[in-house]
Amino acid sequence: MPRLPPSLIWKAHSISPLAATLLPVCRNIASALAELRWIREHVQSTSRSPSGSQADDVRLRRLCRERGKGVPLQYVLGTQPFGDLEIKCRPGVLIPRPEPEAYTTHLSRLLVSGHFIPRHQPLRVLDFCTGTGCIALLLYSSLCSSSPRLAVTGVDISPLAVSLSKANLKHNVALGLVPSPSPSQSVTFRQSDIFSPHWSSPVSAGGHCDVIISNPPYISPRGFATDCSRSVRNYEPKLAQVPRPRPDSGVAQEDVFYARLLDIGAAVKPRVMLFEVGGMEQAVRVVAMVGRKLGTEEWEVEVWRDWPDARPAEEEGTTVLVDGVGEVLVRGSGHGRSVLVYRM
């Protein structure tokens, strides 16, 4: 990381010494001031003492120092907004990013409009590698009004993630951001390892599943060392980003989850599947894998960029050629971010 020029540090210091504390991690003044404001708002809104007290100042300085050392802002503040929800974040569970927010919102809009599945039909959604539970909760909250019978299940291997996702459900119900679950509309979280030989799908007992969505670990060990930012490497769980090697799967280490998820998809036969990927190259590999494992007679494939509903920039193509599949539609603007597989 390039050194910060002393003039910049001095300038930040003249605005506020706390901004200078945040500068090493924020890298520019505008973003340092924005973060300072958010931290200050957090301190004020959670303060137990009268405003402007000594204790608040001490706490503000402590949080700024912590953040300045590189601890993610979401761990410092304890939350991250996700759609209309407020998701609690704790060390050990991956922090929700804006990209999942964008594709989850886009997918839920399509589902609400009845694009894939006629409206008001019973809907069953599976979210693998749910982490904080953000995607499952956002889908649940936005589908509740249009699907009278809805069941969302979040699955994660980490007990820490499962307990956090349950806490997030409770938290958002308490805030009134998510309707509280009922017998006909439910959202549940369970711990299980989808690679375990004894793994059975949560729907195998009772019928079908309509939507599978997942933000699995997809970074290669090399990518983790070179592409990941320092704060991510040092503070966020590697478990959620780099898959464990599985030599028997026959694909690259970073793609093992997609192979497994597509196997599950082939067995369960949902209407829609959406998987986050780490870029256009990985998206192309996953699309090719769909062609091999599911075939393209029955299934349609699309690639979504970071902002699937935005206007593509001039240099961004709207199709991509994939070996064995052919031309595949690419929507939106940004990096290749997710692969949509569906059957009409």
Partner 1 sequence: MFAAPWVCRSCSRLAARPLRSSQLLRRASTAPISNAVLLPPALLQRAQKLAAEHASLQKSLATDFDSKTAKRAGELGSVAAALKDYQDAKASLSELDALLSSPDAELRDLARDDVPPTTAQLRSAARRLSAALTPKHPFAEMPCLIEFRPGPGGLESRFFTDSLFRMYQAYCARKGYRCKVVKYETSDASGGASGYAGESPLQEAVLEIEDPGSYDVFRGEAGIHRVQRVPSTEKSGRTHTSAAALWVLPSLAETGAGAEQEADFSDPESDFYVDVAEVKSEVMRARGAGGQHVNKTESAIRLTHVPTGISVSMQDHRSQHRNREAAWKVLRSRLAQKRREEREEMARSLRSSVLAKNQVTRGDKIRTYNYQQDRCTDHRSGVDVHNLPDVLAGGEMFDRVIESVREYLVQNEIEAVIADEQLASEQAEGKGKK
The stretch among 109-117, 187-195, 292-300, 304-312 that binds partner 1 (CB under 8 A) is: 304-312
Site for partner 1 in 61-90 (CB under 8 A): 72-74, 80-83
Number of residues that bind partner 1 (CB under 8 A): 51
Sole binder of partner 1 in the list 18, 29, 150, 203 (CB under 8 A): 29
For position 146 contacting partner 1 by CB under 8 A, the verdict is no
Residue closer to partner 1, measured from CB, 95 or 287: 95
Contacts of residue 335, defined as CB under 8 A and 6 or more positions apart, other chains included, come to: 279, 280, 305, 306
Binding region for partner 1 (CB under 8 A) out of 32-40, 164-172, 175-183, 201-209: 32-40
Q: In what order do the strands lie in the sheet with 185-191?
A: 185-191, 150-156, 123-128, 211-214, 272-276, 333-342, 300-307, 326-331, 319-322
Using the rule CB under 8 A, is 307 a contact of partner 1?
yes
| Stated length of the chain | 344
Stretch touching partner 1 by CB under 8 A, among 51-59, 243-251, 260-268, 301-309: 301-309
Phi, psi of 341 (to 5 degrees): -120, 125
Which range touches partner 1 (CB under 8 A), out of 55-63, 181-189, 206-214, 270-278?
Answer: 270-278
Question: Which is nearer to partner 1, 101 or 255 (by Cβ)?
Answer: 101
Q: Which two tokens stand for residue 123?
A: 């809907």
240 belongs to the binding site for partner 1 (CB under 8 A): yes
Q: Does 127 bind partner 1 (CB under 8 A)?
A: no
Q: Does 232 bind partner 1 (CB under 8 A)?
A: yes
Among 47, 146, 188, 231, binds partner 1 (CB under 8 A): 231
The Cα 336–Cα 326 span in angstroms is 17
Give yes or no for residue 335 binding partner 1 (CB under 8 A).
yes
Q: Is 98 in the site for partner 1 (CB under 8 A)?
A: yes
Count of C-beta atoms within a 10 Å radius of residue 51? 8
Per CB under 8 A, the segment of 55-63, 153-161, 232-240, 287-295 that binds partner 1 is 232-240
Contact with partner 1 (CB under 8 A) among 61, 97, 115, 293:
97
Per-residue b or e along 287-301, where b marks 16 or more CB atoms closer than 10 Å to that residue's CB: bbbbbeebebeebeb
Q: Does 254 bind partner 1 (CB under 8 A)?
A: no
Options 88, 171, 285, 337; binder of partner 1; rule CB under 8 A = 337
- Closer to partner 1 by CB, 71 or 293: give it: 71
How far apart are alpha carbons 74 and 207 in whole angstroms?
39
Cβ neighbours of residue 217 under 8 Å, at least 6 residues apart?
Answer: 129, 239, 240, 241, 242, 243, 254, 257
**Closest distance between partner 1 and the C-beta of residue 48, in Å?**
23
**CB of 171: closest distance to partner 1 in angstroms?**
16
- Shortest approach of partner 1 to residue 303 CB, angstroms? 14
Which residues sit at the interface with partner 1, rule CB under 8 A? 14-15, 26, 29-31, 33-35, 38, 72-74, 80-83, 94-95, 97-99, 101-102, 105, 215, 217-219, 223, 227-229, 231-232, 236, 240-241, 276-279, 306-307, 309-311, 333-335, 337
